[in-house]
Structure 1
Amino acid sequence: MVKNSNRRKYCFGSQKCIYMDTCSFDFNELNEEVLKRYPSHSDQVFSILFVDKYAQDQSFSELNSDESFKVMLDMYEQEKEITIYVATNKNLGTSNTQQRKKSSRMKIQTRFPNVIAFRIAMNHHAITNEFSYHIEKSDFDRFTARCEHEECPWRIHASLLEDKVTFEVRKLVEKHTCTRSNMGGNKHATQAWIASVVTDKLKSDGNVAVGELRKWLMKKYNVNIPYHKVFRGKEQAYSEMYGKWEDSFLQMDEFKEELQKRNPGSVVDIDSEIINEKKCFKRFFISLAACSKGFLAGCRPYISLDACHLKVCRSNDNHAEVKYKGKRWEVILDERKCSCRVWQVKGLPCVHAAAFIAFIRESWEKYVDPYFTIQKFKDAYAFEVATMPGRDQWMHLETVEMMHPPVFKRPAGRPRKNRIVPADESKKRRKCKKCGGLGHLQKTCKNPPVESSNLGETSTTKRF
């Protein structure tokens, strides 16, 4: 939401933008705006959430009244924009941080959407309460476990309901007589559990490094998890949020049609190859109409001027011969020409013309192409790029051939670690302090010593 603002805001995917006046806007108006932008089915219920930035742990608070709406405005009084989250009853229970905190405590008749959600909740319950459990029976119909310490009375049993999907806790002995056993690690910190607890953090903080996620998990849950397991959990969380990487190639044709539909004149070319009788993605080319038109309207290649030794042999006000590296170049200012042809091609005076202009002390602006002016810069960005909607709003195409992910082939030999140095790049060479030669050090030098004055040393003062 953008408070007290009339400016335009770019929103992509399934994001929307709502403008509001904090003096007159209330919760009912916000709820109506959300319903307009997110049309729902009759069996769905929307929940509006915002991030509580004062909470010690990252958590969401629900907007359900004018009082909570005022609390949010007071919390974000200094910010011009507020990010709110709209969740349905289908995904609220699995993505909300507060819901996870509630599910960390097991109770009889607690229900879960499926057996996988129950197992993740069990792991979360064990980690937050710092104990380990032993599974006696686990399948898609029932789950029975006891505390890892046999003398501890803690027990749990859950099974399917009549709908053959929902899991419910039927029996539970909550009391623990054993000692807490986390000690910085827990075998129940699985990849699926990591994905479930880092999802909200990735949504609110963006792309968080794996090392930072490890520290965050250690600080919040007191579990020391290996780096690669956190990496895989992070990748699983991204797959659950945005879909699998392999599945994205199935919508390449739909992406192409939607992009060309919303940006007429754009060029989108998808190249594929047949590998093992499968159509595999190879590469694609995108040229947005706004970019190509802007390039033609206001862009031109640029060349920089470097320092050089030039000698101007002036003949008249507009014509001169410039001597450089033993060659003579003819420069004509009125026609913006030089015999080297760089000025005509690039639009900027070449080094020969620059030397002549500096020699006669003329203004540079009259000899520079108009493409380098501010107006041309504005013309290059005058065209708009249309926004892309969410994938659920793309055109649906019945493709005959399925697009598969690209096949990566590892090249032979050990991978390179050093970059390929260009042939024209000067290489740094060490200078010997003993003889003044290049390519070796004083320690391995076998040449006779040379006076320091011959080495060009002006001072023997050491720097500390």
Structure 2
Amino acid sequence: MYLGLLDRLQRHGCLSESEERKASMSEQLNAPLGAPPYQRGCLNHRSILQIVVQIAGLCRVINLIMGSFIHGRGKLDGCSFCSRNAFRNAIKEAAIAQHFELRIIKSDLIRYFAKCASEGCPWRIRAVKLSNAPTFTIRSLEGTHTCGRNAHDGHHQASIDWIVSFIDERLRSDINYKPKDILHDIYKQYGIKISYKQAWRAKERGLAAIYGSSEDGYCLLPAYCEQIKRTNPGSVAKVFTTGADNRFHGLFVSFYGSICGFLNGCLPIVGLGGIQLKSKYLGTLLSATSFDADGGLFPLAFGIADVENDESWM
């Protein structure tokens, strides 16, 4: 639990910890209870306190901010964040979680001033950057919310970047995470509604950040074909381009193992098929298959073309 929480906070730039420290903590926390003290890392009062401080540091500040949103409580004057982005992320999380809109009066590299977006509500917060350090510190947190919750459906702070950070972990484990599921999860956790378009754009941006964009993938295809021919001598792999800017037009791949298998162990029958792709740039996936000695399908070659016609098969 400790390492998982630290990883989440580190992705937001709020905590920093060396790999050696994480490994040490992992050994201490995961050692069996019956292990001798030296194996358990001697979790004395000091080391336990260090763990609690590292976990609770940002969470305490966010909770105080959230309390101040509702009741005007929270002695936050002087509370510090490791960077400007860490401070902004904490404010954004608190505003979204408590359904209050923020109106940012001033925000630059050295200062941040915001107040409640509701007219007449006295709540406001000021923070500044410390000199000769990236640390941001809260100078004042004033007023009590008198407006009630002023964000009931959507939320201006729930930007595409915020949604990307929310779905990042789930998207890494499930590439088929659907926009409608993103809508459901955000509403379940925060009680706010976002549009389907926002969820879709956030998923596309998240996938591009994790796996690269479609455009980057097309640019890598020539190098991929060269690697196929280098590591599988006798294979056929070629990218077809068109126009002066060498735009992608088609792809053909047949591995040497498939060629030998067809010539030496398959029936002299070739089946052709095509299926339309539903990716960003569409196209048609073409495949050539045969039958092995057991009557099973044997892949011979595959390719990508704009449409399935006589020219693309040739």
What range is the shorter-chain TM-score in? Answer: 0.5 to 0.7
Describe the SS at the equivalent of 1:270: strand
Whether the aligned pair in 2 keeps the contact of 1:118 and 1:167 (CA below 8 Å) is: no
Whether the aligned pair in 2 keeps the contact of 1:142 and 1:157 (CA below 8 Å) is: yes
Whether the aligned pair in 2 keeps the contact of 1:153 and 1:176 (CA below 8 Å) is: yes
TM-aligned CA deviation for residue 218 of structure 1: 0.8
Is the aligned partner of 1:139 residue 2:108?
yes
TM-aligned CA deviation for residue 140 of structure 1: 4.3
Query: Counterpart of 2:26?
Result: 64
Query: Counterpart of 2:186?
Result: 217
1:279 to 236, 239, 246: 246
TM-aligned CA deviation for residue 187 of structure 1: 1.7
Whether the aligned pair in 1 keeps the contact of 2:100 and 2:151 (CA below 8 Å) is: yes
Query: Counterpart of 2:152?
Result: 183
Describe the SS at the equivalent of 2:199: helix
TM-aligned CA deviation for residue 242 of structure 1: 1.4
1:242 to 207, 211, 214: 211
Query: Counterpart of 2:19?
Result: 45
| One-letter identity of the residue aligned with 1:264 | P
Whether the aligned pair in 2 keeps the contact of 1:298 and 1:377 (CA below 8 Å) is: no
Whether the aligned pair in 1 keeps the contact of 2:127 and 2:138 (CA below 8 Å) is: yes
Query: Counterpart of 1:155?
Result: 125
Query: Counterpart of 1:169?
Result: 137
Query: Counterpart of 1:110?
Result: 81
What is the rounded CA distance, in whole Å, between the counterparts of 1:70 and 1:196 in structure 2?
A: 34
**TM-score scaled by length of structure 2:** 0.59
TM-aligned CA deviation for residue 100 of structure 1: 9.3
In structure 2, do the counterparts of structure 1 residues 239 and 120 end up closer, same or farther at CA, with 3 Å as the change threshold?
A: farther
Deviation readout 1:61-99 (Å, 9 max, x if unpaired): x9812643779xxxxxxxxxxxxxxxxxxxxxxxxxx99
What is the rounded CA distance, in whole Å, between the counterparts of 2:248 and 2:153 in structure 1?
A: 44
TM-aligned CA deviation for residue 200 of structure 1: 0.8
TM-aligned CA deviation for residue 176 of structure 1: 4.3
In structure 2, do the counterparts of structure 1 residues 256 and 223 end up closer, same or farther at CA, with 3 Å as the change threshold?
A: same
Percent of residue pairs bearing the same amino acid type: 22
TM-aligned CA deviation for residue 377 of structure 1: 5.2
| One-letter identity of the residue aligned with 1:281 | F
Deviation readout 1:419-439 (Å, 9 max, x if unpaired): xxxxxxxxxxxxxxxxxxxxx
Query: Counterpart of 1:122?
Result: 91
| One-letter identity of the residue aligned with 2:137 | V
Is the aligned partner of 1:296 residue 2:263?
yes
What is the rounded CA distance, in whole Å, between the counterparts of 2:261 and 2:217 in structure 1?
A: 30
What is the rounded CA distance, in whole Å, between the counterparts of 1:103 and 1:244 in structure 2?
A: 36
| One-letter identity of the residue aligned with 1:153 | W
What is the rounded CA distance, in whole Å, between the counterparts of 1:264 and 1:172 in structure 2?
A: 69
Deviation readout 1:181-216 (Å, 9 max, x if unpaired): 332321211111111101111122331111121111
Query: Counterpart of 1:420?
Result: none
Deviation readout 1:210-234 (Å, 9 max, x if unpaired): 1121111111111111111111111
| One-letter identity of the residue aligned with 2:122 | C
In structure 2, do the counterparts of structure 1 residues 204 and 269 end up closer, same or farther at CA, with 3 Å as the change threshold?
A: same
Counterparts of 1:312-327 in structure 2, within 5 Å, are none
In structure 2, do the counterparts of structure 1 residues 167 and 129 end up closer, same or farther at CA, with 3 Å as the change threshold?
A: farther
Whether the aligned pair in 2 keeps the contact of 1:131 and 1:181 (CA below 8 Å) is: yes
Query: Counterpart of 1:450?
Result: none
In structure 2, do the counterparts of structure 1 residues 118 and 294 end up closer, same or farther at CA, with 3 Å as the change threshold?
A: farther
| One-letter identity of the residue aligned with 1:68 | N
What is the rounded CA distance, in whole Å, between the counterparts of 1:280 and 1:185 in structure 2?
A: 41
Task: Report the structure, 1 or 2, having the larger helix content.
Answer: 2
Whether the aligned pair in 1 keeps the contact of 2:80 and 2:135 (CA below 8 Å) is: no
RMSD: 4.0
| One-letter identity of the residue aligned with 1:64 | S
Query: Counterpart of 2:220?
Result: 251
Whether the aligned pair in 1 keeps the contact of 2:122 and 2:142 (CA below 8 Å) is: no
Describe the SS at the equivalent of 1:169: strand
Runs of 4+ with deviation above 6 angstroms: 46-49, 98-103
Describe the SS at the equivalent of 1:284: strand
Query: Counterpart of 2:172?
Result: 203
Q: How many residues align?
A: 228
TM-aligned CA deviation for residue 136 of structure 1: 0.5
Whether the aligned pair in 2 keeps the contact of 1:299 and 1:377 (CA below 8 Å) is: no
What is the rounded CA distance, in whole Å, between the counterparts of 2:57 and 2:205 in structure 1?
A: 20
